[in-house]
Structures are given as structure tokens and as C-alpha cells.
Amino acid sequence: METDISLKQIRVLTCLYREKSLKQCARIIGKTPSAISKILSRLRELYDDPLFITSVSGIEPTPRLLAMINDLIAIQTTLENSLINSKEFDANGYTEEIILSCSMGLMERFGSEIFTKLSALAPNAHIQLYTWTGETQQQLESSQITAAIHILNEEKPKHIYQKTILKDEMVLAVKADHPAQNLTEALSYSAIILKTSGWNDSRYHFLEKLKANGIEVSHAATVDQLSLGLSLIKESDMGMFIPKVAIIPELKYFTFEGSCYMPLNFAFCIKSANRNSPVHLWLHKVCTSILKLTNI
């Protein structure tokens, strides 16, 4: 029996694994559901395994497929990268998925601009934007997502390549007519903490730095959505620690200096093996052009 497996077949398997839907997979790949079904039937014969079973939430991978899916994704990435001419990357003709994950604050601030520009430059690609979650780093490692933008973290493993894309800093934001006239006065009010998955899940680096400098902050609440926190401080005397890039006209902010200064460098994150991939180099360039338009 013929046992060779093609790049086309690998793409079907990885797409079905991500989408859990034969119909959605067909739409993304650009084939009919019937054609995808035939490819899957052939793969089931080759592997002598169902590969996917039907469940209430869609199709689910079998243990056999789960055991090899990361290898298949890695093989797909390597083959696709080898087929693209790095000097002549054609964004307009690119038909694969572009899956980008960003920290919640950046997604709320830049998500619309990123999607609009990517859609204009790569109209035939399937653009997907997600916020960074506890699974994002693993998804980067297995090439389930294309890239991510997040706060630079020296603790990330070496197989995740990080390149600074925006230099920012932490500030204390309050409403425009807040009674505080300086940072010391503003710090005497309660503060909201913005929880950012993948950075301060279990410890608040900034509060630790302030405490080390003899500054105790009254912790009023914790939120994981930037927009919610901004709404709360606009309607109260509470403050919130946020990246300076997230400041909006309805707020005023106080910066930190000296030993309390805390830089926030946002990084473009990809699997290290993809650092010279044409699509990743292009995506980095596009994201950088959007974030660098911001005057901080």
C-alpha cells in the first residue's frame, strides 16, 4: 500500500485539528467539504485509524492523531517555509492562516488596526486575532498560531524568539478631573490592578517594585479587561496601573522615575525555528509599522 503523505494532506489534518469542523476546514483551505472528506478517508486508510471522531462540540482527534499532531504541524511549517521565496513574499497571494495573539491591553488598543491592515495587505489569507491566554506559549511552540505580541519576558524558553516591537512604560492613570496633583497624592488613593495573562498571573511585578521602594498601594480590585478598568477609574477616584500606550484623552496619568521606573517592552514572539520565515518577517514588519505610529 502507498504510504506517502503529502503537504496537502498534512494541511487538512492540522486544519481539522484546529477548527474541529469539516465545513470550516473546507472554507479555509479553499476546497469543498466533499473533497476534504475524501482526503480524510484516504488518511484514515493510511494510518489505519479514524483520526477524528464526532462529538457534541464538533470532531475530536483520536489518541493516535494527538500523539503525532505536533510533529505534523512542525513538518508543515518547515515545508511551507521552504516553498516560499523569502525575497519575493507575495502577501496578496498568500492563502494560508495568519493567527496572531496579543496581550489583552494591546488587543483592545490595536486589534482593529492590525486586522484592518492585515486584511488589506493579505486579502486572501484567513486572519484570526486572539488575546494571549495560558495556552498561547504552547501554541507558539507547536506552530498552532503564527505569532504573538506580548510584554518581553526573559523567562520565556529559548525556543520562543522575542524581538522588541514597542518600548513603553508603566504609568498610574486617573480620571481627567482627579483631585490628585502629583504622583504622591495619586498613590494615596486605591488602585485597580490590570491582570495580564502571561505576565502577572501569579505575582504583580510593579507592586513588588513599589513596595521595595517603601510605597504601599491600597489594592481596590483586579480586572482582566483594559476597557473595564478604564471605565471604572473614569467614574471614581481610583487609579489604575497601565502601559502608557493605553492612555486615552479622558484620562491623565503620572509617570514613575528613578528606582520606581518600570519599562514595559512589548515583543513580537514566534517559534525560534520561524525567525527567518518570509511570512513571519513580513508580519513583524506590518505589526511594527502599526505600533510605531503611536506617540508615547
pLDDT digit string, tens, across residues 228-255: 999 999 999 999 998 888 888 889 999 9
Query: What is the location of CATH 1.10.10.10 in the chain?
Result: 7-83
What pTM was estimated for this model as a whole?
A: 0.67
Handedness of CA 172, 178, 184, 185 (dihedral sign): negative
Give the contacts of 188 (CB within 8 A, at least 6 positions apart): 180
Distance between CA atoms of residues 234 and 232, nearest Å: 5
Torsion angle (degrees, nearest 10) of CA 167, 228, 155, 203: 120
CATH architecture of the domain with residue range 166-264 = 3-Layer(aba) Sandwich (3.40)
Query: What's the mean per-residue pLDDT of the chain?
Result: 87
Residue 3: per-residue pLDDT? 63
Contact at 8 Å (CB) between 124 and 93? Answer: yes
The percent of residues in the chain predicted with pLDDT above 90, rounded, is: 39
Query: Residue 296's pLDDT band (boundaries 50, 70, 90)?
Result: very low
Structural fold of domain 97-153+270-291: D-Maltodextrin-Binding Protein; domain 2 (3.40.190)
Residue 84: per-residue pLDDT? 59
Over residues 190-204, the pLDDT tens digits come to: 999 888 887 777 778
Over residues 150-182, the pLDDT tens digits come to: 988 776 777 788 888 888 899 999 999 999 999
Structural fold of domain 7-83: Arc Repressor Mutant, subunit A (1.10.10)
Query: Residue 67's pLDDT band (boundaries 50, 70, 90)?
Result: very high
Residue 180: per-residue pLDDT? 94
Query: What is the location of CATH 3.40.190.290 in the chain?
Result: 166-264
DSSP one-letter code for 95: -
Contact at 8 Å (CB) between 282 and 91? Answer: yes
Residue 10: per-residue pLDDT? 92
Q: How many helices (H) and strands (E) does the chain have?
A: 10, 11
Mean pLDDT in residue range 210-235: 89
Look at residue 106 and tell me whether its pLDDT is greater than 50. yes
Residue 27: per-residue pLDDT? 81
Residue 1: per-residue pLDDT? 42
Handedness of CA 63, 29, 268, 135 (dihedral sign): negative
Distance between CA atoms of residues 85 and 239, nearest Å: 50
Query: What is the location of CATH 3.40.190.10 in the chain?
Result: 97-153+270-291
